[in-house]
Structure 1
Amino acid sequence: MGHHSNWPEWVYVGVVIALMCWVGAEAWNAERLVEHIPADAEVIKVTGQQWFWTFEHEDGTKEIGELHVKVGKAYKFEIMSKDVNHSFNIHDYVVLMDAVPGRVNTVWFAPMEVGEHDIQCREYCGLIHYNMRGKLIIEDDSS
């Protein structure tokens, strides 16, 4: 008989096709992150190091542990690490990207409402890893 259930063969084929589509969609989403960065996105250099995040804006302004951005604007993060692997995560915006020494990884987002969000390191990076937090502060464009 071969099959241990009474399901017709097309059910199995359907499940396999659905899984293949899902995996394909995931890969496409990852591509999309890089492919479709808005042309007017402001670049912010994000550097992870034990045990804090540094942010450098296009105009040279630097922030440590806090990142101020404007609502309704697109931002492109160029993420790197000075020491070990870190992982830059703004959970509320589903922004997650590895910070790896010697490499620049890119991800973008556009905050849509004013507020504060946690920035975390999602990669165990050493003793004080759990303290490697930051604040994303989204401000009104008029300020």
Structure 2
Amino acid sequence: MSTQIAIDAIQHTLQNISGKWRIPILTTLFQIEKARYSVLQQYLPKIGSKMLTTELKALEQLNLIERLVSEPNLTICYQLSNKGRSLLPVLEALSHWGEADLPKKATELTSQNKHEINHFLTINI
């Protein structure tokens, strides 16, 4: 069996979703579909305001999310674009691989960090 792997395409994908906050932002938007800035801050309390703004702009420029402005009161919401939604199988595959590999690495972690391993997100499809 022969499998062709496009290394440049993989690196491009990883570059677009890499960083401490991009995957948490994307998975939050998978979960709640449309969110105001303040809602994203509530779901991601450890991210600073400046960092959230920076990452939202970057994800919008990558066409992974859309910034929606409602006309009557100029409320701004964020949601995944079609391109962003197409990442779900990629993130699921990364999650499955990580879960399979994680127990090996978990024994190396200190007890202080072990609670961070069990962060799960349920996405309704």
Higher Cα radius of gyration: 1
More helix by share: 2
